[in-house]
Chain A
Amino acid sequence: MAIEDYRGDVEMCCRCSACKHIPLQKVKGVEHSEACPSISRYNFHAYSGSGRLLIAKEMLTNGFNYTDKLLDIVYNCQMCGACDISCKYAMDMEVLLPINEFRIRCVETGHTHPALDKVIKSLRQQGTMVPGAKGKRAAWAQGLGLKDATKEKVEVYYHVGCLTSYDKDYQKLAKATAKILKKAGIDFGIGYENESCCGGRAFQMGYKDDFLKQARKNMAMLKKAGVKTLVTGCADGYQAFKVLYDRYNLKGELEVLHISEYFARLIKEGKLKLNKKVNMAVTYHDPCYLGRLGEPWIHWKGKRVPGYKFVFDPPKEYRRGTNGVYEPPREVLKSIPGLKLAEMDRIKEYAWCCGAGGGVNVSNPEFASWTATERIEEAESTGAEAIVTACPWCEQNFNQAIKESGSNLKVYDIVELVEKAV
């Protein structure tokens, strides 16, 4: 699919501004009513979901005109999908997909962002989205005696992810995950140096070809290793394997689980027992790519029915964020004794983005930080001492914002709290 294939969708935009807000019956007041970090920060309509569609419509009609402003609009979007979900509360049309395709078109025509190019360079050279990454990908696993899934068959493949592998601040998550899986008696392994970036973030950023390269490479490795079940603690990774790979018919029969889903299953099966008290008041942040965008892909092929209605044959089923991963992380948190969970105003399918997505954490760190700060304040308003989430990119962005703002809020990944409770 290319942007041209979404012409019908971009023409459907009636400029109702629902894309700027969380679903209207969830709005409790002026505070925390907005859904889209981009329009919230930059105010011109162009920065909203609707604005992006209307720009696409104009350019499909009158030709693409790549001004600096256009690229500023394009790249200052976390690709979080909030606009898509809010719109689809009422409308039958795609929003995020054409926005994504527009970005892909920008990349294809050489209109890239230098900061993102740098990240992609690292991907191409080292298979990681962490530029300047040094050393081995699995250095964190040294001495832990973890199975190499490419050398011996395992029941569960643990895909660690780029940030967790390479960033010293987040390697603890990998170690914690390994520890927990061991304690639960799970037969698991990692890919060691055969693990490579899932490519999901590259896709968000518009580098479709790089994503496909990574996807094919990863699936080849997993197929060869006979992996049936993959778990990961990174929301981007989860969405890549579960949704994107499926979208491009690469996933096959691979079962993909986020680590929180897997832990929830293990707790239910009695394999994972959380006995230690963790006395803490927390709030949970739904990562966009685990939550609303983690919904399984719907394979559909059809044609628009000619006429005045925007309908298709066969009828098109839309992904509206209903089937994202929302409950398993909450179930896990609720299973931790002593932990008190208070919800923020914007949760689940209408959660406010952490700010890191779409490459914004590198292309515009100030905007990423601004977005995270909004979320930190929202978390603090619940009275929580800590914000818990399920994606290292979210955690990194929150930590950065907390450092800058001087907030006392703590940031935890769900696996860290499980580790404390095990």
Chain B
Amino acid sequence: MAIKKDVYKEFEDVVGVENISDDPAIKAAYRSPDITVVLPGNTEEVAAVIRLCNKHRIPYKAQSTGWLLFAPTYDFIFLDLRRMNRIIEINEKNMYAVVEPYVISAELQGELFKRGMICNVKGSGSTCTALAMSGHGHMGLTTSTGDRNELATEWVTDEGEIVRIGTLGASDEWFCGDGPGPSLRGILRGGGVITKQATKVYHWPGPSEYPLEGLSPRYKLTKKPSELNMMVRYFSFPSIEKLIEAELKIGEAEIAFELMGFNPSMVSSNITTSNEEDFATLDRFTKEVQGPGFMVIIAGNYDEDFAYKKKVLAQIIKETGGQSLKAVEDPDVEATLLFQCTRVSASIRETFRAGGMFSSMMVQGQRYDNHVRWLEEAAVWKRELIKKGLVIADDGQQFGWGEEQGHLGHTEIFCRYNPYDEKSSEAVQKWMERVGKRALEGCFAVPSMGVLPVDVVGKKVSNYHIWFGKLKKAFDPNGVGEQTGFSYVGADSAAAHTSIYEKPEKAAKE
């Protein structure tokens, strides 16, 4: 359903004729037949578009690169923020960078590397926005996590009001996102569009540019990681308890730059350049590992620092019965994991390559051991699906990583499957529901958005859905902002994905 011509013209007057379209071909690329796509060029245009949405009561959705986008199922204005792609400022002394939504992490990271700094990169990969948002990344031990990296923010509310949070509102600066008084960072992800944001950045002891040679898909580092005061290892453990013990000790000892609880299938996906190579490598790895494991990257700020960190790591691994995966000790493999896991450039291999789809149950926050316990149960049920041939056979394990030296973390389990296979899709959807219900019954965690009805979840979680509903209503009185439920932190891909063009029961009015 298209919006009326005169209404279309109003949007066109804001963004210009080149930057709006409801042509079927354009819409097909956004995988929704019911949208009008606009490309705003700056904050004022975003605000004006949203105000028009309010005026005409047309819902809208905003997006940057749109990794794994699943279109909402009603008529709406779609703001593709592609034209808002500037790095506004990098402040080295106070260690923050200010970006617009379409700056991708790879770009920000590239700029920061030149200055001996690095940013958090979301686990979904460095093609995603560099905005802090809710994205949890593999380097969280060092680069913190999601919205905890936010500083001052320029935010357009669901009514189209521009709110400048923190120092931005006070003095046009970016260094603080909280106050005066209570912090409106508290309601940032409830809706609206972030149009600029300052994000904390961190020290990077590595090179200003990785010295790579070779060609896609197999780049090679021309130096050994040890020459860069860096080391990558993969350790497997006799049990998940021992893994957690090691992970916690590593976090507390503050020795790791990155600890990524890959399971062997993710390691093998990451370093291989085709599915066949991947499956063969996984076979080999599976025989070598003794149980669940993680990859750890040590980075020394200077020689003595590097030596100390390696020594402590060796001691912890000894104490916890860890076993090093020989393949990763090969400097070439080690180097590949080093640059791919710090640039987070191969997450697609780990997730989509095998079957085109994955459905994930993930949870952020305190990891040990509530989340781990819960997803251990989920892993058992996943292995049943593997046995039945409904999902891709990997090691059937959960994975995760510590953040902020192990204070917080991310825990996840996913099933890779063919979304066009109805049996698989249904089985995965049922698995997600079962895992979600268990999270609630067992008081382990709040399950990912979309897995269970929001009021079923909310009732058990301080009725947050009612409180959030009030916030939503206060800032989105006309109901034009994103209504895809109350998105759980970082998880927006948990729903089953086979019906891309599901027609809504209630279409928005023209």
The answer to whether A and B touch in the complex, with CB atoms under 8 Å apart, is yes
Q: How far is the CB of A357 from chain B (nearest CB, A)?
A: 19
Picked from B86, B127, B219, the residue with its CB within 8 Å of the CB of A25 is B219
Q: Are A16 and B349 in contact (CB under 8 A)?
A: no
Q: Does A21 contact B (CB under 8 A)?
A: yes
Q: Does A249 contact B (CB under 8 A)?
A: no
Q: Does A89 contact B (CB under 8 A)?
A: yes
Picked from B216, B354, B357, B416, the residue with its CB within 8 Å of the CB of A88 is B216
Q: Does A33 contact B (CB under 8 A)?
A: yes
Nearest A residue to B28 via CB reads A58
| A190 to B28 alpha-carbon distance, docked (Å) | 48
Q: Are B86 and A46 in contact (CB under 8 A)?
A: no
Q: Are A65 and B106 in contact (CB under 8 A)?
A: no
Q: Are A15 and B23 in contact (CB under 8 A)?
A: no
With contact pairs A25-B343, A88-B216 given, residues A43 and B19 touching in the complex (Cβ less than 8 Å): yes
Which residues from chain A contact B469 at a C-beta distance below 8 Å?
Answer: none
Q: Which residues of A from 84 to 101 have beta carbons under 8 Å from B?
A: 85-86, 88-92
Picked from A23, A26, A44, A350, the residue with its CB within 8 Å of the CB of B37 is A44
Which residues from chain B contact A52 at a C-beta distance below 8 Å?
Answer: 29
With contact pairs A24-B343, A44-B29, A322-B215 given, residues A15 and B107 touching in the complex (Cβ less than 8 Å): no
Q: Does A28 contact B (CB under 8 A)?
A: yes
Interface bits B211-238 vs A (CB < 8 Å: 1, else 0): 0100111110000000000000000000
| A198 to B363 alpha-carbon distance, docked (Å) | 57
| A168 to B260 alpha-carbon distance, docked (Å) | 60
Which residues from chain B contact A25 at a C-beta distance below 8 Å?
Answer: 210, 212, 219, 339-340, 343, 345
Q: Are B25 and A65 in contact (CB under 8 A)?
A: yes
Picked from A58, A85, A308, the residue with its CB within 8 Å of the CB of B424 is A308
Q: Which residues of A from 267 to 312 have beta carbons under 8 Å from B?
A: 307-311
Q: Are B275 and A18 in contact (CB under 8 A)?
A: no
Q: Are B111 and A29 in contact (CB under 8 A)?
A: yes
| A317 to B124 alpha-carbon distance, docked (Å) | 26
Which residues from chain B contact A326 at a C-beta distance below 8 Å?
Answer: 215
Which residues from chain A contact B11 at a C-beta distance below 8 Å?
Answer: none
Q: Does B276 contact A (CB under 8 A)?
A: yes
Q: Does B21 contact A (CB under 8 A)?
A: yes
| A348 to B217 alpha-carbon distance, docked (Å) | 12
Interface bits B91-118 vs A (CB < 8 Å: 1, else 0): 0000000000001101101110110000
Q: Are B217 and A322 in contact (CB under 8 A)?
A: yes
Query: Which stretch, B65-73, B191-199, B291-299, B303-311, touches the partner chain A?
Result: B65-73
Nearest B residue to A322 via CB reads B215
Q: Does B392 contact A (CB under 8 A)?
A: yes
With contact pairs A28-B209, A67-B24 given, residues A309 and B355 touching in the complex (Cβ less than 8 Å): yes
With contact pairs A12-B352, A15-B66 given, residues A24 and B216 touching in the complex (Cβ less than 8 Å): no
| A23 to B343 alpha-carbon distance, docked (Å) | 11
Which residues from chain A contact B82 at a C-beta distance below 8 Å?
Answer: 39, 43, 45
Which residues from chain A contact B355 at a C-beta distance below 8 Å?
Answer: 308-310
| A18 to B24 alpha-carbon distance, docked (Å) | 24
Picked from B31, B86, B217, the residue with its CB within 8 Å of the CB of A30 is B86
Q: Does B30 contact A (CB under 8 A)?
A: yes
Q: Are B339 and A308 in contact (CB under 8 A)?
A: no
| A65 to B216 alpha-carbon distance, docked (Å) | 36
Q: Are A70 and B80 in contact (CB under 8 A)?
A: no
Nearest B residue to A74 via CB reads B25
Picked from A24, A67, A348, the residue with its CB within 8 Å of the CB of B345 is A24
Nearest A residue to B391 via CB reads A308
Which residues from chain B contact A20 at a C-beta distance below 8 Å?
Answer: 65, 127
Q: Are B357 and A70 in contact (CB under 8 A)?
A: no
| A29 to B347 alpha-carbon distance, docked (Å) | 20
Q: Does A59 contact B (CB under 8 A)?
A: yes
Interface bits A318-330 vs B (CB < 8 Å: 1, else 0): 1011100010000
| A67 to B66 alpha-carbon distance, docked (Å) | 25
Which residues from chain A contact B113 at a C-beta distance below 8 Å?
Answer: 28
With contact pairs A30-B103, A46-B28, A311-B275 given, residues A91 and B215 touching in the complex (Cβ less than 8 Å): no
Which residues from chain A contact B345 at a C-beta distance below 8 Å?
Answer: 23-25, 89
Picked from B24, B37, B356, the residue with its CB within 8 Å of the CB of A65 is B24
Interface bits A346-366 vs B (CB < 8 Å: 1, else 0): 001110000000000000000
Q: How far is the CB of A337 from chain B (nearest CB, A)?
A: 25
Interface bits B35-77 vs A (CB < 8 Å: 1, else 0): 0010100000000000000000000000001111100000000
Interface bits B5-23 vs A (CB < 8 Å: 1, else 0): 0000000000000010101
Q: Does A51 contact B (CB under 8 A)?
A: yes
| A349 to B213 alpha-carbon distance, docked (Å) | 12
Interface bits A67-79 vs B (CB < 8 Å: 1, else 0): 1111001000000
Q: Are A16 and B68 in contact (CB under 8 A)?
A: yes
Q: Does A17 contact B (CB under 8 A)?
A: yes
Q: Are B21 and A44 in contact (CB under 8 A)?
A: yes
Q: Are A45 and B80 in contact (CB under 8 A)?
A: yes
Q: Are B352 and A43 in contact (CB under 8 A)?
A: no
Which residues from chain A contact B218 at a C-beta distance below 8 Å?
Answer: 322
Which residues from chain B contact A24 at a C-beta distance below 8 Å?
Answer: 106, 125-127, 343-345
Q: Does B274 contact A (CB under 8 A)?
A: yes
Q: Are A54 and B29 in contact (CB under 8 A)?
A: yes
Which residues from chain B contact A12 at a C-beta distance below 8 Å?
Answer: 352, 356
With contact pairs A55-B25, A310-B356 given, residues A85 and B216 touching in the complex (Cβ less than 8 Å): yes
Which residues from chain B contact A54 at a C-beta distance below 8 Å?
Answer: 28-31
With contact pairs A33-B106, A318-B274 given, residues A16 and B25 touching in the complex (Cβ less than 8 Å): no
Q: How far is the CB of A288 from chain B (nearest CB, A)?
A: 14
Q: Are B80 and A28 in contact (CB under 8 A)?
A: no
Q: Does B348 contact A (CB under 8 A)?
A: yes
Picked from B25, B67, B344, B420, the residue with its CB within 8 Å of the CB of A46 is B25
Q: Are B67 and A16 in contact (CB under 8 A)?
A: yes
| A310 to B352 alpha-carbon distance, docked (Å) | 10
Which residues from chain A contact B28 at a C-beta distance below 8 Å?
Answer: 46, 54-55, 57-59
| A20 to B349 alpha-carbon distance, docked (Å) | 17
Which residues from chain B contact A232 at a C-beta distance below 8 Å?
Answer: none
Nearest B residue to A348 via CB reads B215
Q: Which 3 A-B pairs have the closest CB atoms?
A: A51-B29, A24-B345, A69-B23
Binding site for A on B (CB under 8 A): 19, 21, 23-26, 28-31, 37, 39, 65-69, 80, 82-83, 85-87, 103-104, 106-107, 109-111, 113-114, 124-127, 209-210, 212, 215-219, 273-276, 339-340, 343-349, 351-357, 389-392, 416-418, 420-421, 424
A-B contact pairs, 25 of them (CB 8 A): A16-B67, A16-B68, A17-B127, A21-B127, A23-B216, A24-B106, A29-B114, A33-B110, A43-B39, A45-B80, A46-B28, A46-B30, A55-B29, A67-B24, A85-B216, A90-B346, A90-B349, A307-B418, A308-B390, A309-B355, A309-B392, A315-B276, A320-B216, A348-B215, A349-B215
